[in-house]
Amino acid sequence: MTDLATSEAPAGAALAETDDGTARLHRAILIGIAAALVVAPFVAYPVFVMKVLCFALFALAFNLLLGYGGLLSFGHAAYFGMASYVCAYTAKNWGLTPELAILLGTAVAAGLGTVFGALAIRRQGIYFAMITLALAQMVFFFSLQTPRFTGGEDGIQAVPRGKLLGLLDLTDDRALYWLVAAIFMAGLLAIYRIIHSPFGQICKAIRDNEPRAISLGYRANQYKLMVFVLSAALAGLAGATKAIVFQLASLTDVYWTMSGEVVLMTLVGGLGTVFGPIVGAIVMVTMQNYLATLGAWVTVIQGVIFVACVLLFREGIVGVIAKAIKKPL
Amino acid sequence: MFELLGIPPQALFGQVLLGLINGSFYAILSLGLAVIFGLLNIINFAHGAQYMMGAFVAWMALNYLGLNYWFALVLAPIVVGAVGVVIERLLLKRISHLDHLYGLLLTFGLALIIQGLFRNQYGSSGLPYGIPPQLAGGQNLGFMFLPNYRAWVIVASLAVCLATWFLIEKTRLGAYLRAATENPTLTQAFGINVPLLVTLTYGFGVALAAFAGVLAAPVYSVNPNMGGDLIIVVFAVVVIGGMGSIMGAIVTGFALGLVEGLTKVFYPEASSTVIFVIMVLVLLVKPAGLFGRPA
Amino acid sequence: MKLRTFLATGALAALLASPAFAQQISVKAGVLNDRSGIYADLAGEGSVIAARMAVEDFKAAEKGIKVEIVSADHQNKPDVGSTIARQWYDQDGVDLILDVPTSSVALAVSQITKEKNKININSGAGASDLTGKACNANTIHWTYDTYALAQGTGGAMVKAGGDTWFFLTADYAFGHALERDATEIIKKAGGKVLGSVKTPFPGTDFSSFLLQAQASKAKVIGLANAGSDTTNAIKQAGEFGIVAGGQKLAGLLVFVSDVHALGLQAAQGLVLTESFYWDRDDQTRAWSQRFAKLNNGKMPTMVQAGVYAGFLHYLKAVEATKSKDTATVMAKMKEMPTDDPLFGKGSIRPNGRKMHDMYLYEVKKPSESKGEWDLYKQIAVLPAEQAFQPLAETGCPLVK
């Protein structure tokens, strides 16, 4: 993906010399997002907002790997879906409290990410993408072949939302919402922090010019693996949270189309921008939900939007805005 | 008579042959994909949709124009190829200088549009299309019953694959094509109309997909989703063969059909996953695929 | 000011007391199904049309019941389906959800319906769990389930002499369920299952599996799969001369839309079970022809018929109880015998299972068919009590 990185560098690379103005703008946006999270459940349907947040976190995690690690994974559904299964299974069958189930799901995703990442980062570009896809297909196969664990295509249904820390009842949508919003915000801040840390800077250096970074003494592969695992874990966090929100985990979450969806979200929102994936997730999930009443025209309209996106605003929605205000977002 | 893991050898021959026949679909489709990727640097995600269009054009030719299978075999690639040319001129051309991720997104969008339109018009459960009467029936080979149509599929696809290989590797036109793949600017400087070459190549790749679609129409269900999941498998074939390698795509197509066929005997549940297992193994051992040149 | 308030209150009270106003109930129904994917033809827009026809035939407006129908595409994704279902119940005031094919979505929606205490009349899904382990007091399963299909096709085939079987089973839960249920009935009827092969779902080429089935020498090849898998398998079975060679094909989950898609040339001789066929009697014919006019000439599937009949029964219960309170209406629906032009007379069991006869059909030869949709000939009727799983065996916690 090296050529990708260079063509898309401006938005990300400029971040390296974070000037005061940009930092202030970003802080303002983060506060704006937090404020929006507080207001959202009162103006929109909470379950819908929670879904958006889960997918936004998923897209953010994916973008961490692609936008900042320069690695296009086409198998992120594996971490998202597997975490979702683990969380749903442990919450339902072991009676774990939701926070433990989510953590366990996330941990499994991180573990899976470590194994898959170690294999995949040995290749680059399209080959990297294909290895991740193939490994994810194996996870799908595993999920299909272990109906005792995953429930086959019926999925794991009726997962209890349980009580947070054994105290706070989450069956109420509003109560659950605050948990999901907090998880999302924590994830966003963590990613923001990672991108702007020395670690993130080195990742970007490797993305832009790997041989040079190696010649400077950085162990490129270790950094790549690290960012891969972080991304997988965060994707897992999103998937596990989703299992609690919808009280189910199903095969759609591990299927390759889910990996494709997250790529689309990131591209629509703006690749290599910090906030783009959030916008992309909002657009995609809204389309899925509110176009649903249009019946058979849904796929056609989605298709037209993708084509228009590539032809008209290639940098993604946030990318276009960033260009207009000449500040990285 | 010896048995291999409980399977009598005659049955195994049959399965090998069937695998090769399925491999011929993979070969034609991956060939088209490889040709397009080689020159345009675009992963044509609409390939499955174009394959589906081929089958539908065959159906339309029969039901609206009264043209039989044999006409469709010529007509469908031309019609769908022409659609491909239009797509390239109107859309793909504008993003030719960009990363292949955008090509993927664009063609994915196109696939959604095409599939959606066909579904609106013809429904999702499909349309009937019979085997041409000349190829009905079959031969008893002793170890299996081979339908004549399947024999025709393997012959037709081998012929098309080899002709394509010859065209690209052994003719002047092919030489231009390879030159343009290698270095478009320089090739243009030598007075060769590279944009035209690119357009025609895309049209040709798409036409191959449509050809496969017509071949498939009598034996597979003709419905708008028929190409949906195929693209991932076919793309895996291209990657295993080595991106941009024509021979690689052909040989791998047949070989993977064979492996898949054998998997269907010994571990049927895994037969749709085995290709991905092979892909991981190949890429870890030979990074540029079986026939690709290391970059 | 005070006088005016007084007058207004009085007027309102008078209005409330008048019979016309008391009967004014408004019902909002949501048809949730696949409108853009593989099940769009057997459910899709046709189910919405069927629901509208139910309102029309019930003459809801004349009876003072205002009905509104909304619809959405769940894209066969449980998360999309459950977001829509929750939103419909929580925000849009939807009282009941109809149809819901795809078992993963169906189970999720049934669960949400229970949680929100609304009503779910499922027509499109096959999972027998809906009235078994996962049953609840808010869900009715109308049209068919995997148990009844296996029972119909499996039992009748053995009776007709097809006593050795080989299964082509989609490697998915519904495929396994179909195979398991059919195997049981085949054994009970004195037949034998010689083998089975699990095929990845969805698949395209079944020739290899068909050869394995052929080699088994079983008299019947049972297709425990669905949609394009079934049509592909049938098409290729014809190609490989399997039916011509004397083996019979039995479709365990085949809809009239699939047979129409295959064409009679490829599908002839296939035996299958459905709970509704448009050409069964005068009533079904009359209704189906009205339906086809609204649905681009396509005849209704049993799923679409089930949406109509289920919704009609619901409206009758609302009329009878003059209420749309969930518990009241559900109690009435289960107590009142069902009667509609499509499924005839029937009843609803405590576990939510709608009881009606199932029919065994054989696909006609092209020479026997008189039109595009003249596809089946009836070969047996399976009484409801035999077709559906005995109540005690369902494992439904509501029974006991």
Residue in C with minimal Cα distance to A49:
C83
Say what the pLDDT of residue B145 is.
85
Contact C241 B126 (CB under 8 A): no
Domain of B249 in residue numbering reads as 22-123+145-285
Within-domain flag for B105: yes
CA angle C203, C212, B270 (to 5 degrees): 40
As for how many domains chain B has, the answer is 1
Chain-centroid distance, C-alpha A241: 12
CB atoms within 10 A of CB A93: 11
Say what the pLDDT of residue B77 is.
97
Say what the pLDDT of residue A181 is.
96
The amino acid present at A225, given as its one-letter code, is L
Within-domain flag for B110: yes
Residues C72 and C132 reside in one and the same domain? yes
Residues C188 and C268 reside in one and the same domain? yes
Q: What are the tens digits of pLDDT across the range B250-287?
A: 999 999 999 999 999 889 889 889 999 999 999 889 88
B123 touches chain C (CB under 8 A): yes
Q: What are the tens digits of pLDDT across the range A280-295?
A: 999 989 988 887 777 6
Q: What are the tens digits of pLDDT across the range A121-147?
A: 988 888 898 899 999 999 999 998 888
Q: What are the tens digits of pLDDT across the range C301-315?
A: 999 999 999 999 999
Question: In terms of DSSP bridges, do strands C96-99 and C25-33 run parallel, antiparallel, or are they unpaired?
Answer: parallel
Residues of chain A neighbouring C44 (CB-CB closer than 8 A): 295-296
A9 — pLDDT class (breaks 50, 70, 90): very low
Say what the pLDDT of residue C273 is.
94
Residue range C165-186: average pLDDT? 91
Residues C166 and C109 reside in one and the same domain? no
Q: What CATH number did the domain enclosing A236 receive? A: 1.10.3470
Reply yes or no on whether the pLDDT at A11 is more than 50.
no
Closest of C145, C108, C138, C110 to residue C124, by C-alpha: C145
Interhelix angle for B246-266 vs B274-285, to 10°? 130
* Beta-ladder partners of C167: C196, C222
A112 — pLDDT class (breaks 50, 70, 90): very high
Residue in C with minimal Cα distance to B25:
C205
User: Nearest by CB to C103, which of A48, A153, A242?
Assistant: A153
Q: What are the tens digits of pLDDT across the range C50-90?
A: 999 999 999 998 888 999 999 999 988 888 899 899 999 99
Contact A298 C173 (CB under 8 A): no
User: Nearest by CB to A155, which of C73, C104, C176?
Assistant: C104
The count of CB pairs under 8 A between chains A and B is 116
Q: What are the tens digits of pLDDT across the range C280-294?
A: 999 999 999 999 999
Residues of chain A neighbouring C79 (CB-CB closer than 8 A): 51, 242, 246, 248, 250, 252-253
Where in C130-182 does DSSP place strands (E)? Answer: 139-141, 164-170
CB atoms within 10 A of CB A32: 11
B221 touches chain C (CB under 8 A): yes
Peptide bond into C202 cis (omega under 30): yes
Question: In terms of DSSP bridges, do strands C220-224 and C119-122 run parallel, antiparallel, or are they unpaired?
Answer: unpaired
Contact B261 C240 (CB under 8 A): no
Give the minimum alpha-carbon distance from B95 to chain A in angstroms, rounded to a whole number.
8
Within-domain flag for B72: yes
**Which of C239, C243, C303, C375 would you mutate first to test chain B, the one with the most B CBs within 10 A?**
C239
One DSSP character per residue, B59-84 reads HHIIIII---HHHHHHHHHHHHHHHH
**Which of C76, C168, C207, C262 would you mutate first to test chain B, the one with the most B CBs within 10 A?**
C207
Residues C226 and C160 reside in one and the same domain? yes
Is residue C264 a contact partner of residue C364, using CB atoms and an 8 Å limit?
yes
Within-domain flag for A274: no
Computed over every residue of chain C, the mean pLDDT equals 90
Reply yes or no on whether the pLDDT at A49 is more than 90.
yes
C102 touches chain B (CB under 8 A): no
Residues C253 and C162 reside in one and the same domain? yes
Reply yes or no on whether the pLDDT at B232 is more than 60.
yes
C20 — pLDDT class (breaks 50, 70, 90): very low
Within-domain flag for B176: yes
Is residue A131 a contact partner of residue A239, using CB atoms and an 8 Å limit?
no
Say what the pLDDT of residue B141 is.
84
Residue in B with minimal Cα distance to A314:
B102
Within-domain flag for C181: yes
* Residue B122, CB-side half-sphere exposure with 13 Å CA sphere: 23
Residues C71 and C184 reside in one and the same domain? no
Give the minimum alpha-carbon distance from C385 to chain B in angstroms, rounded to a whole number.
32
Residues of chain A neighbouring C82 (CB-CB closer than 8 A): 246-248
Beta-carbon contacts of residue B44 (< 8 Å; ≥ 6 apart): B32, B33, B36, B37, B50, B103, B107, B202, B205, B206
As for how many domains chain A has, the answer is 1
Residue range B101-119: average pLDDT? 89
Residue in B with minimal Cα distance to C208:
B15
Give the minimum alpha-carbon distance from B213 to chain C in angstroms, rounded to a whole number.
13
C201-221 per-residue burial string, b: 16 or more CB within 10 A, e: under 16: bbbbbbbbbbbbbbbbebbbb
Within-domain flag for A318: no
Say what the pLDDT of residue C12 is.
53
Give the Cα separation of A46 and A176 in Å (integer): 9
The amino acid present at C124, given as its one-letter code, is G
Q: What are the tens digits of pLDDT across the range A205-256?
A: 998 888 999 999 899 999 999 999 999 999 999 999 999 999 999 998 999 8
Within-domain flag for B10: no
Reply yes or no on whether the pLDDT at C21 is more than 50.
no
Residues of chain A neighbouring C139 (CB-CB closer than 8 A): none
Contact C104 A250 (CB under 8 A): yes
Domain of C224 in residue numbering reads as 147-274+357-387
Reply yes or no on whether the pLDDT at C342 is more than 50.
yes
Q: What are the tens digits of pLDDT across the range B190-228?
A: 888 999 999 999 999 999 999 999 999 999 989 998 888
Residues of chain A neighbouring C296 (CB-CB closer than 8 A): none
Within-domain flag for A290: no
Return the SS3 of C218. coil
Say what the pLDDT of residue C6 is.
54
CA angle C142, C147, C150 (to 5 degrees): 120
Residues C100 and C244 reside in one and the same domain? no
Say what the pLDDT of residue C1 is.
45
User: Nearest by CB to C240, which of B145, B272, B273?
Assistant: B145
Contact A134 B91 (CB under 8 A): no
Say what the pLDDT of residue A309 is.
84
Say what the pLDDT of residue A15 is.
45
Say what the pLDDT of residue A177 is.
94
* Residue B257, CB-side half-sphere exposure with 13 Å CA sphere: 26
Place of tokens 């024509």: B246
Within-domain flag for B191: yes
Residue in B with minimal Cα distance to C372:
B128
pTM, full prediction? 0.88
Place of tokens 């000939």: C377
Within-domain flag for B133: no
Reply yes or no on whether the pLDDT at C219 is more than 90.
yes
Q: Which of residues 210-269 of A touch C (CB under 8 A)?
A: 242, 246-248, 250-253
A323 touches chain B (CB under 8 A): no
Give the Cα separation of C350 and B240 in Å (integer): 56
**DSSP summary character for residue C247:** P
Q: What CATH number did the domain enclosing C378 receive? A: 3.40.50.2300
Within-domain flag for A157: yes
Give the minimum alpha-carbon distance from B88 to chain C in angstroms, rounded to a whole number.
27
B295 — pLDDT class (breaks 50, 70, 90): low
Within-domain flag for B256: yes
Reply yes or no on whether the pLDDT at C350 is more than 60.
yes
Contact B108 A260 (CB under 8 A): yes
Most confident stretch, A73-77, A157-161, A265-269: A73-77
Within-domain flag for C232: yes
Residues C228 and C213 reside in one and the same domain? yes
Give the Cα separation of A191 and A182 in Å (integer): 14
Residue range B138-160: average pLDDT? 90
Reply yes or no on whether the pLDDT at C19 is more than 70.
no
Residues C256 and C187 reside in one and the same domain? yes
Within-domain flag for C393: no
Within-domain flag for C321: yes
The torsion angle over the Cα atoms of residues B8, B9, B11 and B17, rounded to 10 degrees, is: 160
Say what the pLDDT of residue C9 is.
58
**DSSP summary character for residue B130:** P
ipTM of the complex: 0.86
Reply yes or no on whether the pLDDT at A17 is more than 50.
no
Within-domain flag for A309: no
Residues of chain C neighbouring A48 (CB-CB closer than 8 A): 83, 87
B181 — pLDDT class (breaks 50, 70, 90): confident
Residue range C133-156: average pLDDT? 92
Within-domain flag for A324: no
Beta-carbon contacts of residue B263 (< 8 Å; ≥ 6 apart): B270, B271, B274
Give the Cα separation of C297 and A154 in Å (integer): 33
Domain of A101 in residue numbering reads as 2-268
The chains in contact with chain A, meaning 3 or more Cβ pairs closer than 8 Å, are B, C
The chains in contact with chain C, meaning 3 or more Cβ pairs closer than 8 Å, are A, B
C5 — pLDDT class (breaks 50, 70, 90): low
Within-domain flag for A321: no
Say what the pLDDT of residue C11 is.
54
Within-domain flag for C394: no
Give the Cα separation of C144 and C343 in Å (integer): 12
Within-domain flag for C6: no
Residue C256's φ and ψ, nearest 5 degrees, are -60, -30
Is residue B187 a contact partner of residue B176, using CB atoms and an 8 Å limit?
yes
What percent of chain A clears pLDDT 70, i.e. is strictly above it?
Answer: 94
As for how many domains chain C has, the answer is 2
Q: What are the tens digits of pLDDT across the range A175-191?
A: 899 999 999 999 999 99
Say what the pLDDT of residue A124 is.
83
Within-domain flag for A319: no
C160 — pLDDT class (breaks 50, 70, 90): confident
Q: What are the tens digits of pLDDT across the range B75-98?
A: 999 999 999 999 999 999 888 888
Contact C41 B145 (CB under 8 A): no
Reply yes or no on whether the pLDDT at C23 is more than 70.
no
Higher pLDDT, A34 or A9: A34
